[in-house]
Chains A and B, each alone.
Chain A
Amino acid sequence: MSVDREIAVDYLARVEGEGAMYLKLRGDEVLDLKFKIFEPPRFFEAFLRGRSYFEAPDITARICGICPIAYQTSACNAMEDAAGVHLTGGLRDLRRLIYCGEWIESHALHVFFLHAPDFLGYESAIAMATDFPDRVQTALRLKKIGNQLMTVLGGREIHPINIRVGGFYRTPTREELKALVPDLEWALEAAIDTTKWVSGLSFPDFERDYEFVALQHPDEYAIHQGRIVSNRGLDIPAEEWGEHFEESHVAWSNALHARRRDTGRSYHVGPMARYSLNFDRLTPVAQRAAIDAGLGDSCTNPFRSIVVRAVEIAFACEEALRLIGGYERPTSPFVEVEPRDAVGHGASEAPRGLLYHRYAVDGEGLISEAHIVPPTSQNQLSIEDDLRAYVPGRTGLPDDRLQWELEQAIRSYDPCISCATHFLDLTVERE
């Protein structure tokens, strides 16, 4: 085979935002491969300049309608860091609790609506509903429970209004949270059952030796706080992100490519990274569900990330129940955060991976510099590396099958292109 072959997907489906893929093959050799992000830039980092530190959570939430809590949390973490404030007790617990809601709704959306149809050969979850009505009903109810948690705490599920620098505008009563318990107990069981179900799907035989990067916390499975660690020995506070990672701008993407500064290589953020780095900190029921699903203490097959997401739904339900069980309403809904001339750094684990914010703020509280690094821009290079490794040996597949498997590989990352652009369409070209 010396004829060049081209596969192009001009608009990738079942991802959040606008992306494309282009692949050019000569026989078994990959001549060119690009994961393109053409979502138009919205310039958040530019127009945040001159805005108040207090507006950062509401404005940056609008980067992503699927993971607004991630943006609000990383922004608050950064502004609180700049002011030297650290949330403790009930306020800290509530930050973690609302984030559990976002993990549940976002992961339920991805597992059932965006990823499962690939494994089962359907174009969408809606098409799946005829043959798998119970699964689709479970998906909708799980998603709804995650959204309810966000609504009780945040006022609404998309762009919650109750997150402020220093805490919340209003904290929920014990009774308001207790009312969520029966649904969360159902959701935990449903997540365990989902873990079993997705572990029985068939996965392409594909493993990669990733550098996993995620937050780590000594006492808990990190969500909203922690040090940035990797399986290659990295262990740094958020403020050192810039010393160890760098972003470059390539012509085919409106999202910046992040890579490790010392090796120049890709790294992997998201559920597989968190799971592989923090397995021993999972809550007991979620850990048991993972072991029963045959996962082991790490996962290096990106297609299997669907199982890890299901485990993380179980974790988020279990953790939410624990937090609600111990909740005492704080005496004040927030702590005062007085602006000062400083630089603040904030990181948290968005459902799709590490999200880093850095702001320079002046004495009046006005933002003079903003730097936001979403998970998908950190994963772009890893996605391209995956595709480059996946294609050889599979070039015998017809274009439409190869294209679908490559799309599926990309969807394994739950890429959020709206986030990354400050991103999917597929083209395969065979010579």
Chain B
Amino acid sequence: MTTEKAKLAVWKFASCDGCQLTLLDAEDHLLDVVSAIDIAYFPEATRAVVSGPYDLSLVEGSVTTAHDAERIREVREVSKTLVTIGACATAGGIQSLRNWADVDEFTSIVYAHPEYIDTLATSTPISDHVMVDFELRGCPISKHQLLEVIDAFLHHRAPNIPRHSVCVECKLRGTNCVMVAQGIPCMGPITQAGCGAICPAYDRGCYGCFGPSQSPNIGSLAGWWRQFGVSDFDLVRALRTFNGYAPEFREASEAYER
């Protein structure tokens, strides 16, 4: 077998740092991870920089500046395998709400000197800019799924990340359906599993932080929500959060807005 360890790099674009923190939050496994893979570039954790190319790059955050649009190309060039982590990197993040607004107005609301601010009109996922080898969803990502992705990479296999909905996880967890039993509007039926169905276990409806599941039937869910008295205005807002710019949620929210 090979004796040289694979080199890991962790890159940050527009984001909250939560997904890269997930790696440091894997307390029980962190030392195992660093014994299996060399952390070659991870500025949040270390000053040391080992030059590329890198075997595995984890990319957090979305592209929101012209400089970052260029930088992601450079990251792709030095990365053998590039995995995007989290809702910002895979779907544009909460900051993609600007995609439905006037960014100049946004800038002037927040900043006294808009001329100092260099920003694009849109926040876009990494895959809009470069080829991505795997997208790991979630706001934030699950540490178990992150470890699975790293393990799969180390063993040259495909990551086992299900695309089914949160409903399956509720059944596995033994949680009563909050929509059926309590009439709480829940995005679980159209949201990808991975969080462990936390919200329904805490008596609240899923709010979609893992993005659209495979082939989500958003129209059917919208019908149910209307029966609970949810307005189209509220439905559009529910679809437009951390994964609002993911194609399935985007198209649906634009349809219900009309």
Which A residues fall within an 8 A CB radius of B? 11-18, 39-47, 49, 51-52, 55, 58-59, 62-66, 68, 109, 113, 117, 123-127, 129, 136, 140-141, 143-144, 147, 155-159, 161-162, 164, 168-170, 248-251, 254, 256, 333, 407, 416, 418, 422
14 A-B pairs (CB sep. < 8 Å) = A13-B45, A16-B17, A17-B17, A40-B65, A113-B45, A123-B47, A140-B31, A155-B199, A155-B202, A157-B25, A169-B199, A248-B112, A249-B112, A249-B113
Q: Is the CB of A126 within 8 A of B45?
A: yes
A14-B43, A46-B110, A62-B94 known; A158-B25 Cβ under 8 A: yes
B203/A42 in contact, CB under 8 A: no
Residue B172, interface by CB 8 Å: no
Q: How far is the CB of A422 from chain B (nearest CB, A)?
A: 6
How near does chain A come to B113, taking the closest CB pair, in angstroms? 5
Q: Would you call B202 and A161 a contact (CB within 8 A)?
A: yes
Determine whether B4 belongs to the interface, using a CB cutoff of 8 Å to chain A: no
Of all A-B residue pairs in the complex, the 9 with the closest CB atoms, nearest first, are: A65-B18, A124-B46, A123-B48, A46-B106, A47-B97, A42-B95, A169-B204, A144-B27, A158-B140
- Complex Cα distance, B236 from A51, in Å, reads 11
In angstroms, Cα B112 to Cα A249, docked, is 6
User: Is the Cβ of A254 less than 8 Å from the Cβ of B117?
Assistant: yes
Mark out the residues of chain B between 72 and 118 whose CB falls within 8 Å of any chain A CB in the assembled complex: 93-95, 97-98, 101, 103, 105-107, 109-113, 116-118
17 extra interface residue pairs, beta carbon distance < 8 Å, beyond A47-B95, A117-B47, A164-B204: A41-B117, A43-B95, A43-B106, A59-B94, A123-B48, A124-B42, A124-B48, A140-B28, A141-B27, A158-B22, A168-B202, A169-B202, A169-B204, A170-B203, A250-B116, A418-B15, A422-B111
Q: Is the CB of B46 within 8 A of A40?
A: no
CA distance A18 to B202 in the complex (A): 35
Nearest chain A residue, comparing its CB with the CB of B109: A46
User: Given that A62-B139, A126-B45 are contacting pairs, would A43 and B110 also be in contact in the complex, using a CB cutoff of 8 Å?
Assistant: yes
The winner among B16, B24, B43, B48 for most chain A CB atoms within 10 A is B16
Contact A40 B64 (CB under 8 A): yes
The reply to whether A155 and B101 form a contact with Cβ atoms under 8 Å apart is no
Contact, CB under 8 Å: A161 / B113 = no
Instruction: List the A residue with the shortest CB-CB distance to B97.
Output: A47
C-alpha spacing A158/B209, complex, angstroms: 12
Find out whether the CB atom of B199 lies under 8 angstroms from the CB atom of A161: yes
Distance A364 CA – B201 CA, assembled complex (angstroms): 29
Given contacts A14-B43, A46-B101, A143-B25, contact A62 B110 (CB under 8 A): no
The interface residues of chain B lying within 8 Å CB-to-CB of A14 are 43-47
Q: Are B18 and A68 in contact (CB under 8 A)?
A: yes
- Complex Cα gap A13–B43 (Å): 5
CA distance A211 to B41 in the complex (A): 37
Choose among B123, B140, B199 the residue that contacts A65 (Cβ–Cβ < 8 A). Answer: B140
**Chain B 139-170: CB-based contact to A (< 8 A → 1; otherwise 0):** 11000000000000000000000000000000
Asked if A51 and B18 sit within 8 Å, CB to CB, the answer is no
Whether A249 and B111, one on each chain, are in contact in the complex, defined by CB atoms closer than 8 angstroms, is: yes
Of A127, A147, A161, the most chain B CB neighbours within 10 A belong to A161
Asked if B134 is at the interface (CB within 8 A of a chain A CB), the reply is no
> Is B127 part of the contact surface with A, judged by Cβ < 8 Å?
no
B198 to chain A, nearest CB (A): 4
Quick one: CB contact mask for B1-29 with A, threshold 8 Å, 1 for yes?
00000000000111111110110110110
Measured between alpha carbons, how far is A389 from B42 in the docked complex, in Å?
A: 30
User: Residue of A at shortest CB range from B42?
Assistant: A124
| Closest partner residue, chain B, to A52 (CB atom) | B237
Q: How far is the CB of A376 from chain B (nearest CB, A)?
A: 12
In the complex, chain B residues whose CB is within 8 Å of the CB of A155: 198-199, 201-202
Instruction: Let me know if B44 and A15 touch, CB within 8 A.
Output: yes
Residue of B nearest to A143 (CB): B27
A422 adjacent to B203 (CB under 8 Å): no
Contacts of A43 in B (CB 8 A): 95, 97-98, 103, 106-107, 109-110
Q: How far is the CA of A40 from the CA of B203 in the complex (A)?
A: 36
- Measured CB to CB, the closest approach of chain B to A298, in angstroms, equals 31
Instruction: Give CA–CA (A46, B110) in the complex, Å.
Output: 7
Contact B242 A62 (CB under 8 A): yes
List the A side residues contacting B199 at CB < 8 Å.
Answer: 155, 161, 169
Contact partner of A127 among B14, B19, B46, B117, CB < 8 A?
Answer: B46
Q: B47 near A13 (CB under 8 angstroms)?
A: yes
Given the known interface contacts A65-B19, A159-B18, the answer about A40 and B68 at a Cβ–Cβ threshold of 8 Å is: yes
